Chains A and B, each alone.
Chain A
Amino acid sequence: NAGVTQTPKFQVLKTGQSMTLQCAQDMNHNSMYWYRQDPGMGLRLIYYSASEGTTDKGEVPNGYNVSRLNKREFSLRLESAAPSQTSVYFCASRDPPYQPQHFGDGTRLSIL
């Protein structure tokens, strides 16, 4: 039972490069989320998808785009990476309204 799988686990980019972070869940959850974690700031929501075919902005969406490819997969794209996007990115899924989120193990992204 894999749960939420994120790829890659680590990535180093140069400023201006583009990158897509992949996320897949096998729990048949309707909702999926992308967060970034920065020191002293907890987890901040970038984008979420309440159900297949829908996406919405979270707290910090600037510089990112998302695609809900199907019920299982939710990708996060950086079109032109900036050093301020250096962070650890977590994908999560759940079935609302009050079920807990299940998280992947994260992608550690460094932008030089």
Chain B
Amino acid sequence: DQQVKQNSPSLSVQEGRISILNCDYTNSMFDYFLWYKKYPAEGPTFLISISSIKDKNEDGRFTVFLNKSAKHLSLHIVPSQPGDSAVYFCAAISQGNKLVFGAGTILRVKS
């Protein structure tokens, strides 16, 4: 039973346009959400996070939106760059405990 779902295995976007990666969750006890980025042959690296008391967090080109009523979060990358091409994992934490990861979305930014 996947508690964190990333339903799009891949996404292709033109350089300069917006990339939107989506994530849905089922556990209402999740209170903190994170996005990780992973390049081939490297470990995941932390990108951005959001607490359940917020609905938006922004860091440069990256913005995460949280819709608690829909149990949905999204990562927006504007503008997208070729170096953003990677696998993006959504993750969730409940009460400071373990992280639960989604299956990941492969983003390809075409130049």
Mark A residues whose CB is within 8 Å of B: 4, 33, 35, 40-45, 48, 58, 90, 92, 96-98, 100-106
Contact = CB atoms under 8 A, between A and B. Distances in A.
A58 B89 contact: no
Nearest to A90: B43
Interface stretch (B14-22, B58-66, B78-86, B91-99): B91-99
Nearest to B42: A105
A103 to B, nearest CB: 3
Interface of B: 4, 6, 9, 32, 34, 36, 41-46, 49, 51, 89, 93, 95-104
B103 A42 contact: yes
A100 B101 contact: no
22 contacts: A4-B43, A33-B98, A40-B103, A42-B89, A42-B103, A43-B44, A44-B101, A45-B99, A58-B98, A90-B43, A90-B44, A98-B49, A98-B51, A98-B93, A98-B96, A100-B46, A101-B46, A103-B43, A103-B45, A104-B43, A105-B41, A106-B42
A102 B45 CA distance: 7
Contacts of A103: 36, 43-45
B57 to A, nearest CB: 13
Nearest to A56: B98
Contacts of B103: 40-42
Contacts of B102: 42
